[in-house]
Amino acid sequence: MSLLRQSTQALRVAAATSNSARWISTSAVVRNSTQTSPAPAKAANGQSRDVAAEQVARHDQAVAADLVSSAPEELTQRTVRIFRPSKTANSSGKAGTKVWRVDFDILQGSARWENPLMGWASSGDYMQGTSLKFRSKEDAIHFCEKQGWDYQVQEPKIARIPPKSYAANYNYIPGKLRIHHTK
């Protein structure tokens, strides 16, 4: 029996026994099912196969997506940069610094000009303003390998914050006396 058929039957059984059938989740059905692992499907030659192990192996291996994406050929020749953005200098918050971004490098020879109407900077590079967000560096690398893009990873610099205390202002330091003028 296939994994899809098993999960569909488990959902029907759970919906029939539950009062609020429309609020049931598939994770609850999987946790409450009597079988802990799916039954291996039969291959064409009669051998049994482990579908779950195949799915894990398929996820770890990057399969080229350029055959079905219909993206322009020029994208495969460009290098992308994978980085984690730093916090902005004019705010103390760290919003947007926990994600990894994939950003296209500036295309050399792309015509840049100033728009005569508004004065904005314009470019012939259509991928210049495109960036993608990922939860982890490994996800970004996996996506770039799947698309067939050359990439470089820029590791984030860790900010070192020295320990501070108010009492350190009054420590005795031998040498010249520091005088603070208040007026």
3-class DSSP assignment, residue 122 = strand
User: Which tokens sit at 98?
Assistant: 């926990």
The residue assigned the tokens 């996800």 is 139
Integer Cα distance of 84 and 99 in angstroms: 6
Backbone angles phi, psi at 132, to 5 degrees: -115, 145
Whole-model pTM: value is 0.54
Residue with tokens 């899809």: 4
Q: How far apart are CA 13 and CA 176, in angstroms?
A: 83
Contact 158, 167 (CB under 8 A): no
Query: Where do the CATH 3.30.160 domains begin and end in the chain?
Result: 69-154
Q: What are residue 138's DSSP bridge partners?
A: none
In the block, tokens 């058929």 appear at: 5
Sorted by sequence, the CB contacts under 8 Å of residue 57 that are 6+ apart come out as none
| Predicted confidence (pLDDT) per residue in 66-91, tens digit | 666 677 777 778 899 999 998 888 87
Q: What tens digit of pLDDT does each residue of 117-147 get?
A: 888 888 878 888 889 999 999 999 999 998 8
Taking the CA of residue 139 as centre, how many other CA atoms within 13 Å lie in the half-sphere pointing to its CB?
9
- What pLDDT score does 171 carry? 83
pLDDT digits (tens, 9 = 90+) for 9-48: 776 776 666 554 444 444 444 444 444 455 555 656 667 7
Tell me which of 3.40.1710, 3.60.40, 3.30.160, 3.10.310 is the CATH number of domain 69-154. 3.30.160
C-alpha 96/C-alpha 134 separation (Å) is 11
C-beta of residue 113 within 8 angstroms of C-beta of residue 148: no
